[in-house]
Structure 1
Amino acid sequence: MNETHSDNHTDNHGATHTDNHGATHSSTRKESVTVLGLGRMGSALAGAFLDAGHPTTVFNRSPGKADPLVARGARRAATVAEAVAASGLVVVCVLDYDAVRGLLEPVAAELRGRTLVNLTSGSPEQARAEAEWAAGHGIGYLDGGIMTTPPGIGDSANMILYAGGPELQAAHRPALSALGDPVDLGPDAGLASLYDAGLLGLMWSVFGGWLHATALVGADGVPAKEFTAVSVRWLRTVSWFLTMYADQIDAGEYPGDDATIDIQVAGIGHLLHAGEERGIDGRLPRLHLELMKEAVAAGHGGDSYARIVEAFRGKRSA
């Protein structure tokens, strides 16, 4: 939980609040933000805060990386301590969690009572350890997962996942919204990293399937752009299946009301045949076929495709 700041911190939040004397008042000034780490992503984050009108302090070990942001109105801090002291909201985005701790351990006392938003990529276990470290020093902590590349920062169509403190996300939502659409995953600080890993896996699987399909139809002269227009429409239907299958997975029941695994084994056979005739690498569909055949051999051929989740869980139930 974030502690009460002195007036010069709370006034930066740009919202109605109560000062240390119990008086409620309102400020129209946008919240001040500090960004630590000015690689491509960190620079994009700082730029989005500036574009949204937030007073922004920046720090990078190589000071020259701050020059373009300073030219746009950012304040350059000479030290991490100076950067932290400038804002109640501190955002860090560096190479890894070791780099995060290296930056912040020496200024833990200065961070006390402030909110730290860690947008560095890492594992759920690292995020939970960092949240524990922050709590031990009286630091409000949010761990985040950025679901876009630097050019997408600042676009509300793109998600930024946050976990570790719903009350902190609510308090800082106006500032965090400058980066993208803030999605609250709840109090477990590890969930942003976990979702990030899972969603990237989903992305690579979709990319792989689309590339395989594009190579397949391209063998008969179909342009990728033409095929992709139809593919995007098909993915809307696929999303409907995902929603239905999610309910089945949560219930642990896989009725084959839409299409059974048996039927889909036959269907993937057509895909493999078409690929072989055109010299298309079939490793990806053969993996799906292998998983399907295992389910059929275990007596689940009449179930829906959602049953395959058990194979990924390592459960080959009879």
Structure 2
Amino acid sequence: MQSRDADHTPVTVIGLGLMGQALAGAFLRDGHPTTVWNRTAAKGESLVAQGATLAASVGDAVAASPLVVVCVSNYEAVHELLDPLGEVLDGRILVNLTSGTSRAARDSAEWASRRGSTYLDGAIMAIPPAIGTADAAILYSGPRSAFDAHESTLRSLGAGTTYLGADHGLSSLYDVALLGVMWSVLNGFLQGAALVGTADVDAATFAPVANTVIGTVTEWVPGYARQIDEGRFPALDSTLATHVGAMEHLVHESESLGVSADLPRFIKALADRAVADGDGGNGYAAIIEQFRKPSGVRG
């Protein structure tokens, strides 16, 4: 992948865990002068061998580049490192690729503004080996002008570079929402693998059949999205009440085979609440109304 920055913008990467090292490596491969810093300096040795400059302090690291990328354990660590720097941040573009919440992202944007820094929040939807490839998706939110100014540099990290909007909290909000989707799919597969395992069917045999169903559900998502946005939930395939009957079968099958029924019981409880609220004749997407309620609120 070749950088489209004519001047190969210098970049600083703060935080050299597995992800931070991958980020710095991708910038180096695209020809960007790259400064790195980590509490444990030894983590930068392989990057120095690739051409990176190891800064003596976090302040020196920030001062070295107009574009500063931070990827550490949490937002608290970001502030612990950068709070003492004061005017060193003035005029820098600060890109925070640390995982956190939308509120933390918005608070960090205000904090950065008070120090004269323009802030972009980001969420990495990839594992370290994918960084710098077509498989890496990274979401950004914050001022459009800052993103546009450095988009080609940020594309060194992955082809799936996507700008979500001016609200700094959007990237973190998408991140946690997508994690929920991921865990839901994986937990459903694990529940299914446990069930078929009681008949001595191994997970590798079950996986391709499960993937067929996952692919089918993927095709339903755009239609469900339209129903949610329109606030109408027609039962195009089956009613929610019919789904509840099938959920009961899953609960009973799990219990009879000695497999945990906690997950299917929870799913059925949500559906039961939706039916009690009058959505039994609607399609499955009507359950969104149950997710929109704060925990503990019924009816």
Instruction: Using structure 2 for the length normalisation, give the TM-score.
Output: 0.91
Matched, 1:246 2:214: no
**Which segments of 5 or more consecutive residues in structure 1 lack a partner in the other structure?**
1-12, 16-27
- The equivalent of 2:191 in structure 1 is 212
Deviation above 6 Å: which 4+ runs of structure 1? 315-318
- The equivalent of 2:269 in structure 1 is 290
- The equivalent of 2:26 in structure 1 is 48
Aligned counterparts of 1:73 and 1:98: Cα–Cα separation in 2: 30
Deviation of 1:14 after TM superposition, in Å, equals: 6.3
Q: Say how many residue pairs are matched.
A: 294
- The equivalent of 2:119 in structure 1 is 141
Aligned counterparts of 1:274 and 1:105: Cα–Cα separation in 2: 55
- The equivalent of 1:164 in structure 2 is 142
Deviation of 1:251 after TM superposition, in Å, equals: 1.7
Amino acid at match of 1:183: T
Amino acid at match of 2:252: H
- The equivalent of 1:104 in structure 2 is 82
Deviation of 1:124 after TM superposition, in Å, equals: 1.2
Q: Once the two structures are aligned, what percentage of the paired residues are identical?
A: 49
Q: Deviations over 1:219-269 (max 9, x none)?
A: 222221222122222222111222111111112221112221011112222
3-state secondary structure, aligned to 1:255: coil
Task: Give 1:60's match in structure 2, choosing from 22, 34, 38.
Answer: 38
Asked if 1 retains the 8 angstrom alpha-carbon contact of 2:22 and 2:129, the reply is yes
Deviation of 1:162 after TM superposition, in Å, equals: 0.8
**Which segments of 5 or more consecutive residues in structure 2 lack a partner in the other structure?**
none
Aligned counterparts of 2:43 and 2:206: Cα–Cα separation in 1: 42
- The equivalent of 2:203 in structure 1 is 224
Deviation of 1:317 after TM superposition, in Å, equals: 8.8
Amino acid at match of 2:60: E
Instruction: Using structure 1 for the length normalisation, give the TM-score.
Output: 0.86
- The equivalent of 1:311 in structure 2 is 290
3-state secondary structure, aligned to 1:116: strand
- The equivalent of 1:38 in structure 2 is 16
- The equivalent of 2:215 in structure 1 is 236
Task: Give 1:179's match in structure 2, choosing from 140, 146, 157.
Answer: 157
RMSD: 2.0
Asked if 2 retains the 8 angstrom alpha-carbon contact of 1:156 and 1:177, the reply is no
Asked if 2 retains the 8 angstrom alpha-carbon contact of 1:14 and 1:31, the reply is no
Asked if 2 retains the 8 angstrom alpha-carbon contact of 1:257 and 1:304, the reply is yes
Deviation of 1:300 after TM superposition, in Å, equals: 1.4
Aligned counterparts of 1:152 and 1:205: Cα–Cα separation in 2: 23
Task: Give 2:133's match in structure 1, choosing from 152, 155, 170.
Answer: 155
Aligned counterparts of 1:197 and 1:307: Cα–Cα separation in 2: 22
Deviation of 1:273 after TM superposition, in Å, equals: 3.3
Aligned counterparts of 1:117 and 1:123: Cα–Cα separation in 2: 15
Matched, 1:120 2:128: no
Aligned counterparts of 1:302 and 1:216: Cα–Cα separation in 2: 30
Deviates more, 1:224-233 or 1:181-190: 224-233
Aligned counterparts of 1:228 and 1:178: Cα–Cα separation in 2: 34
